[in-house]
Structure 1
Amino acid sequence: MKRLGGGDRSRAVAVWLFVTAALVLAMVVVGGVTRLTGSGLSITEWKPIMGVLPPMTVADWAEAFEKYRAIPQYEQVNAGMTLGEFKGIFWWEWFHRLLGRLIGGVFALPFAAFLILRRMPRRLIVRCVVLLGLGGLQGLIGWWMVSSGLSERVDVAPERLAVHLGLALLIFMGLIWTGLEAWNGEEHSRHPVGWSRGAAILLGAVFLQCLLGGLVAGAKAGFVYTDWPLMNGEVLAPVAWSKGALAFLHDQALVQFNHRIMAYGLLVGGTLYALQAWRWRLAEGLGAAAFALAAALWLQAALGVVTLINAVPLWLGALHQAGAALVLAVATVNLWLVRRSQPRLFMSGPRSRVL
């Protein structure tokens, strides 16, 4: 038996990666709350080290507030805001950034320890280095996003918000996948190509839907056209096509419509995937994973509708964003299970085949 602390697999490494993934999930949710409360531009500087400390004195708070009052969001959206109200949005953004720093430490320090103690499976070292690099890049992307709202806009650019969210979710998926690899060890058997392709397409579609959700959030499209299944009584509300290609990123009607259509496609695809799993009676638990994914898609779609028709209250908006990340997690685990298994699919009767 291979020892659990080194060699091909390590349960300790797996737990560390799963804990980090949970923190990234929390980061995604806090990021959603930061956006919904309009807090994202309250800190107008990027100080990776010194920014750990919040304003400590009355003078420090006055300086931070004065810097916020110099940007368009204050002038056009929050003119007349009091210092107390500013503190309310400041703390959300500060906590969001602090959580990002915490995740960096939770990942980097144990990683170094595992390397020094030689408890890290060799085949996972490069993957973890890549994840560490993506985490550092995420900090830069976050500031790139925030900077888009400090001079000419009153909010961040939707496409930059989608990139920021997308990278966070890529890191989340990578942590889950690598954690599963660390927990179970290397697998040398072949995987069923056809079924694996279907699971990969579903995962890619869920990820794309998350990016479309980021565009909806960035364009604040969830606060308009809050009826369903139509949009203000129409299948597609009027679109400002004069924006050209930017309409697909910035137009409120179009980004919400695209998010809706993708949701319908995912429901159909996920349901057919689960029904096919039941029809062929997949072995090794893959059928359960397929049904879990389909159920998660339906629950998330229902939550999306409820969130929309209630004009995105804070708690529902945060719950919907958390739900998106959880659906992505289920889709990731489903693909990992498919690629690690060699299920035999049985038709009724003596004939059987493998996809």
Structure 2
Amino acid sequence: MGRTPPSAQDLRNRQRISTWLFAICFMLVGMIALGGYTRLTGSGLSIMDWRPLTGMIPPLSHAEWERQFELYKTIPQYKILHDGFGLAGFQQIFWAEWTHRFWGRLMGFVLLVPLVWFSITGALSRGLALRLVLFFVLGGLQGAIGWFMVASGFNPDSTAVAPVRLVLHLCCAFALYIAILWTALSVRTPRPVFIPAIPEARRIHALVWAICILVGITVIAGGFTAGTHAGFAYNTFPLMDGHLIPQGYAKLHPFWLNWFQNVPAIQFDHRLLATTTAVLIGVTIVLGLRTPQLGKDVHAALTMLGWLVLLQYALGVTTLLLVVPVWAGTVHQTCAAIVLTAAIITLHRLRGVGRP
């Protein structure tokens, strides 16, 4: 027996719920962009306390601004990088970090309020409601991880946050984004959970899975590139100081430490992963467009993925050659989320291709 077709009310609920979740995804991409901007401007350490609720209210008096500024003067970042800049300069970096944190709190409200409403009205199934509650909890945990990251920059011998904590914060943001995006896609267009039936489609399915994994690893490598300021070295392309593989790539022991602490190795690995990802996407597009059974939706998703990875690669090279200006670094980080979005959409469209 076939499935009972969804009612008109069910279809309306799917559309409303998925639109809401897509809006949250859009806000998450904005959050990733704001995070990149605060990192590149050195704004992340400007707020010295973590108040999950009352922190939504910025300083409202000159005395409060002075108090916040005096707190900031106690950490090494001020003494080494910003010594002598006045209250106006502090306010500029403060507003960047405050906006980043406020945006995160706003996303919590945008998730929680409709979640309660849809649950009361019966628009959500029990399983989907529980999943969304989990997303809300994970979003709150992401805020705590953000503070865990920021606190590492208050150490006496540091002017920035610890790279490992920065990457942890970035990875959790991307993981939450992927989970909400996949849920939104599945609510809007339910597809079979099994892999494609056509052998050629199964091959493309496996390649797109590999692309998603490679994009994720490249994002992690980019996080270490940002956290160690590796982008400010070797600002030539394609060679690094005249070498394809930079000198000193393996100077740390044990060898695996080079991937996380050695600037030449970190930047080279990010370049290599980005190039490998771009090549794999190119191969997948060629094979996919030669497989008409995939359908127009999959072909369109693959084509969009190809254009986006070209844009992202060009942005990466531009950011490097210009020695990481704030605008380029912010756009590059944001575009990484958009490339991952295209890969996830392609993977979702491939589900069940060739089956009834």
TM-score (norm. length: structure 2): 0.91
Unpaired runs of 5+ in structure 1?
Answer: 345-355
Secondary structure of the equivalent of 1:242? coil
The alignment's C-alpha RMSD in Å is: 2.0
**Partner Cα distance (1:339, 1:21) in 2:** 21
**Partner Cα distance (2:287, 2:177) in 1:** 28
Structure 1 range deviating more: 75-84 or 138-147? 75-84
1:116 shift after superposition: 1.0
1:233 shift after superposition: 1.7
Give percent identity, aligned residues only. Answer: 35
CA contact (8 A) 2:204 2:287 kept: no
**Partner Cα distance (1:201, 1:247) in 2:** 24
CA displacement, residues 233-289 of structure 1 (integer Å, 9 cap, x when unaligned): 222333372364443223221111110000111111111111111222243222222
> Which amino acid in structure 1 is aligned with residue 78 of structure 2?
Y
Secondary structure of the equivalent of 2:45? coil
Residues 44 and 8 from structure 1, CA distance in 2 versus in 1: closer, same or farther, beyond 3 angstroms? same
1:328 paired residue among 333, 340, 346: 340
Instruction: Determine if the alignment matches structure 1 residue 172 to structure 2 residue 184.
Output: no
**Partner Cα distance (1:190, 1:291) in 2:** 21
1:36 paired residue among 27, 37, 40: 40
What is residue 97 of structure 1 aligned with on the other side? 101
Secondary structure of the equivalent of 2:98? helix
1:129 shift after superposition: 2.5
**Partner Cα distance (2:45, 2:204) in 1:** 45
Instruction: Determine if the alignment matches structure 1 residue 288 to structure 2 residue 300.
Output: yes
> Which amino acid in structure 1 is aligned with residue 294 of structure 2?
A
Aligned residues: 344
1:177 shift after superposition: 1.0
Structure 1 range deviating more: 32-41 or 115-124? 115-124
Structure 1 range deviating more: 115-124 or 209-218? 115-124
1:295 shift after superposition: 2.2
Residues 188 and 73 from structure 1, CA distance in 2 versus in 1: closer, same or farther, beyond 3 angstroms? closer
Instruction: Determine if the alignment matches structure 1 residue 211 to structure 2 residue 192.
Output: no
Structure 1 range deviating more: 77-86 or 326-335? 77-86
> Which amino acid in structure 1 is aligned with residue 212 of structure 2?
L
**Partner Cα distance (2:241, 2:91) in 1:** 37
What is residue 228 of structure 1 aligned with on the other side? 237
TM-score (norm. length: structure 1): 0.91
1:190 shift after superposition: 5.2
Instruction: Determine if the alignment matches structure 1 residue 200 to structure 2 residue 200.
Output: no
CA contact (8 A) 2:288 2:294 kept: no
1:73 shift after superposition: 0.8
What is residue 24 of structure 1 aligned with on the other side? 28
Residues 42 and 189 from structure 1, CA distance in 2 versus in 1: closer, same or farther, beyond 3 angstroms? closer
Secondary structure of the equivalent of 1:227? coil
Instruction: Determine if the alignment matches structure 1 residue 307 to structure 2 residue 348.
Output: no
Residues 5 and 321 from structure 1, CA distance in 2 versus in 1: closer, same or farther, beyond 3 angstroms? farther
CA contact (8 A) 2:15 2:188 kept: yes
1:63 paired residue among 63, 67, 79: 67
What is residue 263 of structure 2 aligned with on the other side? 252
2:273 paired residue among 254, 262, 269: 262
**Partner Cα distance (1:92, 1:321) in 2:** 17
Structure 1 range deviating more: 100-109 or 289-298? 289-298
2:138 paired residue among 110, 119, 134: 134
CA displacement, residues 299-334 of structure 1 (integer Å, 9 cap, x when unaligned): 211111111101111211111111111000000101
1:155 paired residue among 160, 168, 182: 160
**Partner Cα distance (2:194, 2:269) in 1:** 39
CA displacement, residues 323-355 of structure 1 (integer Å, 9 cap, x when unaligned): 1110000001011111243379xxxxxxxxxxx
Unpaired runs of 5+ in structure 2?
Answer: none
1:126 shift after superposition: 3.2
